[in-house]
Amino acid sequence: MQTLNQSLLDHILAIAFQAGEHLKQFYAKSVEIQIKADKTPVTEADLFISRFITEALKQLTPHIPVLSEEFCNIPLSERQQWQEYWIIDPLDGTQQFIDRTDQFSVVIGLVQQNKPVLGVIHSPILDKTYFAMQNHGCFLQENGQIRPLMAEVNSSEQSPYSLQITLGSANFAPVEKCLLAPYHAQFFKYGSSSLKAGLVAEGKADCYVRFGDTGEWDTAVAEILLQEVGGEIFDLHFKPLTYNQRETFINPYFVMVRDRNRDWQKIFQFN
């Protein structure tokens, strides 16, 4: 099993930064777009970055398999033998990349014994990089400065019934219907799934609610980020998500929260 240490994390950060430089070059020109079987777009940038990161990881750790969103056609019978594996989303927020919102990222994570233990989310245009390693904390590098992201501290000026909720869609009504009185929310739309997780880890959002399909590569790195700041991810039955334990990689709908100690079952009721 790969030992978790600062050297490994530094190598992964370096790979993410290099991938980000490649992404900037693609972003500066028009890219070829195809539509995948699941009706989502994929660009030549996704495919190039996927190959680039996969090769870099294979050079770094030849014994660890790599699972990429763009190359994930591996049956469970083969995958369930894995004690550990890299999980990558080479371009999280392909639609944001196409729409030129700047809100997209490179995501690289390490999963051991079906639990995410290390992860990097690098947004090259926003110049923001989130990274975390099990029992080593969660950090944000922004404009060259690195700062630790800490667990929730209750602010006296904040109403205990007011929530900041980030979503991928501007249609807030379905989530609003699930809020129990006396809770109320301010909603805001933001880019890629991983960057919304970053906002939760930073404390800029109390939670991110997702009623829509995502893949395990969309949540694995978020798991370790949130774990290190005292948060968590749960499905609409308030159960944890799983990794590499099902034939499909599609997650159930979920909620990412910053404070796992809040009684979320008193805040949300999902039918």
The predicted-structure confidence for 213-225, as pLDDT tens digits, reads as follows 999 999 999 999 9
What span, in angstroms and rounded, lies between the C-alpha atoms of 213 and 235?
12
**pLDDT tens string 109-133:** 999 999 999 999 999 999 999 999 9
* Phi/psi of residue 198, nearest 5 degrees: -60, -40
**pLDDT exceeding 70 applies to what percent of the chain?**
98
Report yes or no: 231 and 176 within 8 Å, Cβ to Cβ: no
Q: Is residue 89 marked as binding?
A: yes
Length of the chain: 271
Q: Which two tokens stand for residue 67?
A: 């699972």
What residue type is 49 in one-letter code?
I
pLDDT at 168 over 90: no
Q: Which two tokens stand for residue 128?
A: 């923001």
* Phi/psi of residue 140, nearest 5 degrees: -125, 125
pLDDT at 139 over 60: yes
Q: Is residue 259 marked as binding?
A: no
Q: Is residue 91 marked as binding?
A: yes
The confidence score (pLDDT) of residue 156 equals 46
The confidence score (pLDDT) of residue 270 equals 95
Report yes or no: 133 and 224 within 8 Å, Cβ to Cβ: yes
The confidence score (pLDDT) of residue 225 equals 98
The domain segmentation of the chain, as residue ranges, is 6-148, 162-266
What residue type is 151 in one-letter code?
A
Q: Is residue 92 marked as binding?
A: yes
User: Residue 31's beta-bridge partner residues?
Assistant: none
Q: Is residue 99 marked as binding?
A: no
What span, in angstroms and rounded, lies between the C-alpha atoms of 59 and 71?
18
The confidence score (pLDDT) of residue 157 equals 54
For residue 192, what is the enclosing H or E element?
none
Residue listed under structure tokens 């800490």:
150
What residue type is 198 in one-letter code?
G
pLDDT at 265 over 50: yes
DSSP state of 191: S
What span, in angstroms and rounded, lies between the C-alpha atoms of 158 and 3?
41
**pLDDT tens string 189-219:** 998 999 999 999 999 999 999 999 999 999 9
CB proximity list for 5: less than 8 A, separation 6 or greater? none
Could you tell me which CATH number the domain at 162-266 has? 3.40.190.80
**pLDDT tens string 2-40:** 999 999 999 999 999 999 999 999 999 888 888 888 788
The confidence score (pLDDT) of residue 158 equals 66
Q: Is residue 218 marked as binding?
A: yes
The confidence score (pLDDT) of residue 144 equals 87
100: alpha, beta or left, given left = phi > 0 and alpha = psi -120 to 50?
left
Residue 114, SS3 per DSSP: coil
Pick the CATH number of 6-148 from 3.40.50.300, 3.30.540.10, 3.10.20.740, 3.40.50.10190: 3.30.540.10
Q: Is residue 93 marked as binding?
A: yes
Mean pLDDT value across residues 52-60: 98
What span, in angstroms and rounded, lies between the C-alpha atoms of 195 and 165?
13
